[in-house]
Amino acid sequence: MTMAAPLLTKPSSVAHTAQEVNPLHAQYLQQSPLHFAYEKVLSGERITQQEAVKIYNSHDLLAIGMLADLARKRMTPPELQNHVYWVHNFHINPTNICEASCKFCSFKKGPKSPLAYVMSVDNVLEMVHKYPQNDTLSEFHVVSGLYREQGLEYYETLFKALTREFPHVHIKGMTAVEMKFLADVAGVSTEVVLKTLKDAGLRSLPGGGAEMFSERIRAEVCMDKITATEWLDVHGQAHAMGLSSTATMLAGLGETPEERVEHMVRLREQQDISGGFMTFIPLNCYYDNNKIDSKHALTGIENLKNFAVSRLVLDNIPHIKAFWVHIGEKTSQVGLHFGVDDLDGTVVQEKIAHSAGTETSQHLTQDELRNMIWKAGRVAVERDSLYGIKAIYEPPADTVGYHEAHTFG
Ligand code: SF4
């Protein structure tokens, strides 16, 4: 049976005082130029956009990590503070044919490309039936290209079929970009598309398609995509219907730190209004087979800052995820000390980032995920799509890293 995990506890309702903070961290932060953020995290006061930029531009990575870790703990009930979540999920990408032309995309193919593929509903069902662990799956993650031959009717049929054959699996499907495309092709509103797919079995929306909200960057790299405002509106509509969602940010497109922070603040504003975002997922771009200059590639430090600053800014979104496929397994593990509390999942056959050159595995086993978490000194928790707890895994006594972390605090 699944236990519901509290999504968010406001800082004021968690019993922490300055004295409960690791005293060495407290001493360090009090003397740091970022002491203003330390005081705000302790008091639960919101970090402003200007302050977030100042934190982002600081070179004191350790102070930034300490701040984010403190913020994470203060918005999490004490009994959950050591948890790191993952979900047993399965990615389904019904086609790679897409009529948009995002410059960072290496997944999309034209309809005549020898690499183009289209999966029928039966093809998808057959693929999932062949997956040996489909009986313990928690989530289907369905995203695809914008292909008008696969319209609303196709996805309605697909979701009904998945619900019929795998009733235990939550369907997270279709980015806001795809929802708007299906609506335009069908000549209906996005509300009609959301309602139709919800009735067919859709339970939440993935956070893709947000890219970078900056109008300057969108005009450069994805000018035929929906605007940032439209993306936020679709999520607001989904939240109003009781559908949860996640949100992403694709960095490494040539944006500035100010534009990354602006992206986070716009999400915070939407969350204040509609409240349905469960998780924020900072992603980084890869550069094989696409038109973005690799000189924009993020450093490891920038990846860690994206985790930490988003944890500090998004005081109303419960979880920060390191999608190990994009960020890499090692940086994701370090991210657990920079505000991250979620590592996504088993994934199974990731196609989108791998077509752009990420060198991570296409699949992690549950054993591998548990080990990553334990060796970072945390407790591994399998969750469902809505952060209900399915199983808690304490590490074996001889796990290198876990017990040392608890010895030294
Ligand atoms: S990112 Fe999505 S919308 Fe853009 S070209 Fe690729 S598949 Fe199409």
Domain count across the chain: 2
Q: Is 212 in the pocket of ligand 1 (CB under 6 A)?
A: no
Same structural domain for residues 15 and 89? no
Q: Is 278 in the pocket of ligand 1 (CB under 6 A)?
A: no
- For residues 349, 319, 5, 17, the Cα torsion angle rounded to the nearest 10 degrees is 150
Residue ending a domain, choose from 25, 56, 78: 78
**Within a domain: 2:** no
Whole-number Å distance between alpha carbons of 256 and 53: 10
CATH code (residue 197): 3.20.20.70
Same structural domain for residues 118 and 53? no
**Secondary structure letter of residue 18 according to DSSP:** G
Whole-number Å distance between alpha carbons of 267 and 269: 5
Q: What is the pTM of this model?
A: 0.92
Decide: helix, strand or coil at residue 316.
coil
Q: Is 55 in the pocket of ligand 1 (CB under 6 A)?
A: no
The domain in which residue 290 lies consists of 85-408
The tens-digit pLDDT sequence of the chain (409 residues) is 344 333 333 333 343 444 468 899 999 999 999 999 999 999 999 999 999 999 999 999 999 999 999 999 999 999 999 999 999 999 999 999 999 999 999 999 999 999 999 999 999 999 999 999 999 999 999 999 999 999 999 999 999 999 999 999 999 999 999 999 999 999 999 999 999 999 999 999 999 999 999 999 999 999 989 999 999 999 999 999 999 999 999 999 999 999 999 999 999 999 999 999 999 999 999 898 888 999 999 999 999 999 999 999 999 999 999 988 878 889 999 999 999 999 987 666 656 665 665 665 657 788 888 888 999 999 999 999 999 999 999 888 877 666 555 544 4
Listed in sequence order, the residues at least 6 apart from 365 whose beta carbon sits closer than 8 Å to its beta carbon are: 346
Q: Is 177 in the pocket of ligand 1 (CB under 6 A)?
A: yes
Same structural domain for residues 264 and 339? yes
Separation of CA 177 and ligand 1 centre (Å): 9
Whole-number Å distance between alpha carbons of 340 and 324: 11
Same structural domain for residues 110 and 34? no
**Secondary structure letter of residue 183 according to DSSP:** H
Same structural domain for residues 283 and 221? yes
Residue ending a domain, choose from 37, 62, 78: 78
Nearest to 177 by CA among 148, 210, 142, 222: 210
Contact criterion met (CB below 8 Å) for 283 and 326: yes
**Within a domain: 201:** yes
Residue ending a domain, choose from 56, 78, 100: 78
Same structural domain for residues 168 and 136? yes
**Within a domain: 5:** no
Q: Is 105 in the pocket of ligand 1 (CB under 6 A)?
A: yes
Same structural domain for residues 169 and 318? yes
Same structural domain for residues 350 and 394? yes
Same structural domain for residues 68 and 119? no
Contact criterion met (CB below 8 Å) for 172 and 385: yes
Same structural domain for residues 157 and 61? no
Same structural domain for residues 254 and 399? yes
**Within a domain: 37:** yes
Same structural domain for residues 90 and 218? yes
Chain-centre distance for alpha carbon 192: 26
User: What type of residue sits at position 160?
Assistant: K
Q: What atom of ligand 1 comes closest to residue 99's alpha carbon?
A: 8
List alpha helices for 247-328, DSSP H.
257-274, 300-313, 324-327
Whole-number Å distance between alpha carbons of 255 and 278: 25
Which residues face 86 on adjacent strands?
382
**Within a domain: 132:** yes
